[in-house]
Amino acid sequence: MATVKYDHATRIYPGSEVPAVDKLNIEIHDGEFLVVVGPSGCGKSTALRMLAGLEEVNEGRIWIGDRDVTNLSPKDRDVAMVFQNYALYPHMTVADNMGFALKIAGVPKDEIRKRVLEAAKILDLEPYLERKPKALSGGQRQRVAMGRAIVRSPQVFLMDEPLSNLDAKLRVQTRTQIASLQRRLGVTTVYVTHDQVEAMTMGDRIALLDRGILQQVASPREMYDKPANLFVAGFIGSPAMNLVALPVSEGGADFGSHKVPIEREALERAGKTVIVGVRPEDVEVRQENDGLEIEVDVVEELGADAYVYGRPVDERIVLEGSEEGGERPFIARVDGRRVPNKGDRIFVFPKAEHLHVFHKESGERLF
């Protein structure tokens, strides 16, 4: 087991001027489960492959424990890419299927037996060690394949979108199992995904990348409660945070007719306009004139609560992240027993204690 450190690690593909990964700095703790997340093309897979030794590091260094692995070949790094296509061999016993790669690596027989037994205990495969794979269920076979990675006892597990080929139900099931297995093994793990829900539910910490640049690395809670910038605010959370550009006035910003108080120190850095963010569950809804007036377009009933999708009545106010031809709706979560109707007009404003304020130009968090 070991720590992993990206130290200004940069990858520039031949023929490209823009780095695919740009001066990445992350320190991953021993035993930590770090999820690297971001939209397609953000450099997350490249970052993982740099650690695996599959992509060159053009600038900066990568450390595993106290070893500088920047120029080591993949097999000398003591990392395991898990969930690659593992074959199971029909004539070999489960024990041999799990341990044969160690034989290739020249590990003595007694040591192989010991490690296979340990892995089998963790994976609940002990009673099946002398059987052939054919006698196992699909899930047990899969665990044998997992066992192949475990017996190598690598310093780091690497997983690149391992769930992307599964259907939604299996994905939910499997991600819990991977996370709990990782915790039992305590092996430092770097896991790449494009799915922010996977990131939020699995990782000890999340690193969010956009266009090769690290946006924030933090625990899921911190990422959600204190996004470092507009990009993080818009990416983490489903449904997404409402982000509205508002004029700055004395002591705050005007959320329609509702004054949103903003600290003086933040306001001083802000300029004339700020972007105010509010998550759907942090929206206060009023019937009387207090806040931004919204016309309700769609109501999604979920039982205990409901999501209201609408748009500002004042057409000059457009939500951030809207694209040509596709305006982003304002989304509010409301009590399932007090749901407005389609076509109703309601007034909304953010709860003061869950307010996010960002700089209009730089996108940095102000408050």
Partner 1 sequence: MALEITAARPDPALLDLPWSVPLEEWPEELLAAFPRGISRHVVRFVRLSGRVLAIKEIKTELARREYEMLRNLERLDLPCVEPFAIVSGRVSQDGQPLDGCLITRHLQFSLPYRALYSQSLRAGTASRLIDALAVLLVRLHLAGFWWGDVSLSNTLFRRDAGAFAAYLVDAETGELHHELTDGQREHDLEIARVNIAGELMDLEAGGLLQEDRDPVEVSERIMTRYRELWGALTDTEIVDTGERWRVDDRIRRLNALGFDVGELAMTTDIDGSTIQIQPKVVDAGHHSRRLLRLTGIDARENQARRLLNDLDSYRAALQRQGDSEESVAFDWLREVYEPLVRSVPPELRRKLEPAEFFHELLEHRWYMSEREQRDIPLSEVKEDYLRNVLPTKPDEQAVVGVDTVEMPVIVWDD
Positions touching partner 1 (CB under 8 A) are: 13-15, 52-56, 73-75, 83-92, 96, 100-101, 103-104, 133-134, 137-145, 162-163, 165-166, 170, 173-174, 177
- What number of CA atoms fall less than 13 Å from residue 300's CA on the CB side? 9
> Which residues have C-beta within 8 Å of that of residue 250, sequence separation ≥ 6?
none
Nearer to partner 1, 68 or 89 (CB): 89
Nearer to partner 1, 97 or 242 (CB): 97
CB of 196 to partner 1, least distance (A): 20
CB of 230 to partner 1, least distance (A): 31
Consecutive H or E run containing 17: none
* End-to-end Cα spacing for the chain: 38
Measured CA to CA in angstroms, residue 355 lies from 107, 248, 272, 363 at distances of: 57, 15, 18, 15
Measured CA to CA in angstroms, residue 367 lies from 32, 85, 269, 342, 356 at distances of: 29, 47, 10, 34, 6
Nearer to partner 1, 87 or 302 (CB): 87
φ and ψ at residue 64, rounded to 5 degrees: -120, 115
Contact (Cβ atoms closer than 8 angstroms) between residue 115 and residue 102: yes
Contacts of residues 319-327 at CB distance under 8 Å and 24 or more positions apart, as own/partner, are: 319/242, 319/243, 319/244, 320/230, 320/234, 320/243, 320/244, 320/245, 320/275, 321/234, 321/240, 321/243
Nearer to partner 1, 163 or 274 (CB): 163
**Cα 35 from Cα 179, distance rounded (Å):** 11
CB of 24 to partner 1, least distance (A): 17
> Which residues have C-beta within 8 Å of that of residue 300, sequence separation ≥ 6?
306, 307, 308, 309
Nearer to partner 1, 165 or 341 (CB): 165
Nearer to partner 1, 141 or 205 (CB): 141
Nearer to partner 1, 15 or 325 (CB): 15
Nearer to partner 1, 93 or 229 (CB): 93
- Comparing CA positions, the residue from 73, 43, 75, 58 lying closest to residue 11 is 58
- Comparing CA positions, the residue from 208, 232, 203 lying closest to residue 220 is 203
Q: Backbone dihedral region of 42: left (phi > 0), alpha (psi from -120 to 50 degrees) or beta?
A: alpha
CB of 89 to partner 1, least distance (A): 4
CB of 56 to partner 1, least distance (A): 5
CB of 178 to partner 1, least distance (A): 8
**Cα 340 from Cα 287, distance rounded (Å):** 10
CB of 111 to partner 1, least distance (A): 16
**Cα 182 from Cα 32, distance rounded (Å):** 9
Nearer to partner 1, 68 or 335 (CB): 68
